[in-house]
Every structure is written in structure tokens, then in C-alpha cells.
Chain A
């Protein structure tokens, strides 16, 4: 069964304290792995798509990496405005639909 697991469920960081969020996946065929940011009361905001193992993408303080079993979202020197829930999703090659993890809620304190 296709499955996506994110850890930790919640993460509290001090401003400037770098860390990583994990997304482990088990799928029959990976078409793409997506990272989204979701603020309370809002729809998910697209961050990155990764397609193959070894791929990396960066945007401001965020860097996403991908292996054959997991993806990491690295947050470097976070700021309070980075506080949000980060969602990971995989798109399977046989169905096209996105399967989401439960998310990691990040709180960055000044």
C-alpha cells in the first residue's frame, strides 16, 4: 500500500536554529514528491517538486532533498514567519493522485 509518513509531528525551534523535517514514503512507483506549506485557514502553498533520487531544490531558507525512500526539508536559520505546517505528498506513477503525509507543524520563536 502506498504510504507517506512525516516526522516529527511538531517541531519548536528558536529563531536561527536550523533543523530538518523528514518525509518517508513507500510507493509502487514515484512520479514526483511535493512539499507544501500550509498556514492556518489557508490552502496549501506549493514549495517544491522533486522527481528523482539525488535531486535537490532550494528556495530562500528552505532546501529539499530526495532519496529512494525519503525526502528532507532543511530549514536554515529559520525566522518566525517560517512557522506553518509543512506537508509532503507523493504522486504515484500508476494513478496520478497525490498521497499526503500528516504534516509537520513548525513553530519558530523569536
Chain B
């Protein structure tokens, strides 16, 4: 597709279960970002991939959160042993290059509800 694609668009899971969220960036984009947005809040940085460089994981809130990017394209954000406070929209973004800044485009997000 032409834009950043995220799946699932909505996910309801039970507390304690693991979830995987997927992001398909725009074709050819080397930079990929994950953000979290809780209800009525701003965007919280989680992790940033740029090409083959080591990812910037400084925003991951706990060791229950991890992300990988396979083949420099698709990324998966995994949340283990989900907690109710993990309920949020998880947004993925991509851009064509890290330096200088390319336009950074966002997907529509994956809405996660932990019950």
C-alpha cells in the first residue's frame, strides 16, 4: 500500500497474555518508529530503527516490551504479560532517511485494550 500499514487495528486481550503488533512501513523507508498514545495523552516514544544500526530502545517502558525489524522492513512490537496500563494506541511511523530528516508518516495505529 501507499502508506504505513498496521495490524491489527483493534485488539482486546486478557491481562497476562502476550500480544504482537505489526507494522509495514512505506516501501523503501529505512527509518521506523514506534510510539504509544494513551487516552487523551501525547505521543510517547518507544523505539526507533534506522537502517542496519542498533535500534534506540530508550523509550521502552519495561522489559515486557520488545520490538524487532526483519529484513529492514516489517516490524513487530511484542508486549509480554500484558497489564491494564498497557491499554493504548500503538502508532508506527516511517521515513525515507534519518539524516537529513525525511518526512515521517504515521499509520492509523493499533488500539490495544487489556481487560
Query: A residues engaging B (CB < 8 A)?
Result: 31-32, 34, 36, 42-46, 49, 51, 87, 89, 91, 95-103
Interface size class of B (residues with CB under 8 A): 20 to 34
The answer on a CB contact under 8 Å between A103 and B42 is yes
Query: Are A87 and B42 touching (Cβ within 8 A)?
Result: yes
Cβ–Cβ contact B48 & A97, under 8 A:
yes
- Asked if A31 contacts B99 (CB within 8 A), the reply is yes
Number of A-B contacts (CB under 8 A): 62
> Nearest CB to that of A36 among chain B residues?
B106
Cβ 8 A contact of B31, one of A36, A44, A96 = A96
In Å, the complex CA distance between A100 and B58 comes to 15
CB of B2, distance to nearest CB on chain A (Å): 13
B42, B93, B108: which has the most chain A beta carbons within 10 Å? B42
Bound-state Cα–Cα, A57 to B93, Å: 22
Chain B residue numbers with a CB within 8 Å of A44 are 43, 91, 106
Chain B residue with Cβ nearest A96: B98
In whole Å, how far is B34's beta carbon from the nearest beta carbon of chain A?
10
Q: Beyond A43-B4, A43-B109, A46-B106, list 12 extra A-B contacts (CB 8 Å).
A: A31-B99, A43-B107, A44-B43, A46-B105, A95-B58, A97-B33, A97-B48, A97-B58, A97-B59, A98-B33, A98-B104, A100-B45
CA distance A75 to B68 in the complex (A): 40
Interface residues of A, dominant DSSP: strand
> With A46-B104, A46-B105, A51-B101 in contact, is A96–B45 under 8 Å at CB?
no
Pairs across A and B, CB under 8 Å, 12 listed? A32-B101, A34-B104, A42-B108, A43-B4, A43-B109, A44-B43, A46-B105, A91-B101, A95-B58, A96-B48, A96-B50, A102-B41
* Bound Cα distance from A34 to B108, whole angstroms: 18
Are B42 and A43 closer than 8 Å at their CB atoms? no
Instruction: Kindly list chain B residues whose C-beta atoms are within 8 Å of the C-beta of A34.
Output: 104
Residue of B nearest to A45 (CB): B106
Contacting pair B48 A46 (CB below 8 A): no
Q: Bound state CA distance, A87 and B93, in angstroms?
A: 15
Say whether A49 contacts B103, CB under 8 Å.
Answer: yes
